[in-house]
């Protein structure tokens, strides 16, 4: 049994999480299916993080897991938005094998994407001639944006780079990047849904504009969840 699997199993038993819960996080696998995944030579990073989320691991435990996956990478994990998957990586980080490149675009470039059916957002971003940045837990259609302004302080400072799950489905409480249909404006805000009310709110209430709609207004061309954030990048 690998060190990674030993660690996951130890946490599962420690937290008294039945394997059926892990199976649900992996798309409805049976307990036997979970056992087969854990015995595979390469579990895959997507499955690792799905299992970690199902286990409800703490910020400190996530740091441990990063170290197991990436070796001795120097990572700083910050608890942003009370979500354990919100990660900031220190300027000294050296890219590790678990990280993949995604295109980095500006908010103005993102505004040009209107959710075209036949053009995935990552293909659009690549076509913007953007640079590439590295994150872990990358999936198809993911892209990155550089935060501009102070409306999302303290968690998302000006100049930080967010990893966006293009095509992902956000839930109420998530920080999202959204294109407002009426204006074409792209913003990073916290999504809140209550009954038939939908809003995008700043976390820095003294320096940011909030938006409010009815669900029936269908206010977004697209609205994707932010997965994680990096404050800076090393060469």
For 165-192, what is the mean pLDDT?
A: 93
Smallest Cα–Cα separation from 8: which of 32, 88, 39, 27?
39
Query: Which range among 1-15, 57-71, 154-168 shows the weakest confidence by mean pLDDT?
Result: 57-71
Q: Please compute, for residue 20, the number of CA atoms within 13 A of its CA located in the half-sphere on the CB side.
A: 0
In the chain, domain spans = 3-57, 99-230
Sign of the CA dihedral with 154 first, then 155, 161, and 162 last: negative
Query: Three-state SS for 201?
Result: strand
With a cut of 80, say whether residue 234 has pLDDT above it: no
CATH homologous superfamily, domain 99-230: Umud Fragment, subunit A (2.10.109.10)
Residue 12's alpha-carbon distances to 5, 52, 57, in angstroms, are 10, 9, 10
- Binned at pLDDT 50, 70 and 90, residue 83 comes out as very low
For 176-188, what is the mean pLDDT?
A: 95
Residue 232's alpha-carbon distances to 24, 98, 159, 229, in angstroms, are 35, 18, 8, 9
**5-24 confidence digits (pLDDT tens):** 888 888 888 888 888 888 88
Query: What are the strands, taking DSSP E only, across the chain?
Result: 99-105, 131-136, 143-146, 161-164, 175-180, 186-194, 197-201, 211-214, 220-230
Smallest Cα–Cα separation from 43: which of 95, 102, 87, 2?
2
Token pair, residue 130, equals 């953007």
Q: Residue 128, class by beta-carbon neighbours within 10 Å (0-12 exposed, 13-18 middle, 19+ buried)?
A: middle
């Amino acid at each position: 049994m690998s060190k990674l699997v030993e660690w996951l199993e130890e946490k599962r038993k420690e937290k008294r999480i039945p394997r059926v819960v892990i199976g649900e996080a992996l798309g409805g696998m049976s307990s036997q299916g979970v056992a087969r995944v854990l015995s595979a030579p390469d579990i895959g990073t997507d499955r690792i993080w799905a299992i970690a989320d199902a286990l409800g691991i703490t910020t400190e435990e996530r740091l441990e897991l990063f170290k197991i996956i990436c070796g001795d990478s120097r990572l700083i994990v910050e608890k942003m938005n009370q979500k354990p998957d919100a990660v900031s990586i220190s300027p000294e980080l050296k890219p590790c094998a678990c990280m993949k490149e995604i295109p980095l675009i500006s908010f103005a470039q993102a505004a040009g994407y209107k959710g075209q059916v036949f053009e995935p957002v990552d293909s659009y971003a690549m076509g913007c001639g953007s640079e590439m940045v590295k994150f872990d837990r990358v999936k198809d259609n993911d892209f990155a944006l550089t935060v501009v302004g102070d409306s999302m302080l303290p968690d998302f400072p000006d100049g930080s780079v967010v990893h966006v799950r293009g095509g992902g489905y956000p839930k109420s409480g998530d920080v999202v990047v959204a294109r407002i249909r009426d204006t074409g404006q792209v913003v990073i805000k916290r999504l809140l849904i209550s009954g038939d009310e939908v809003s995008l709110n700043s976390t820095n209430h003294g320096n940011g504009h909030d938006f409010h709609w009815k669900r029936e207004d269908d206010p977004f061309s697209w609205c994707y969840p932010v997965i994680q954030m990096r404050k800076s990048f090393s060469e």
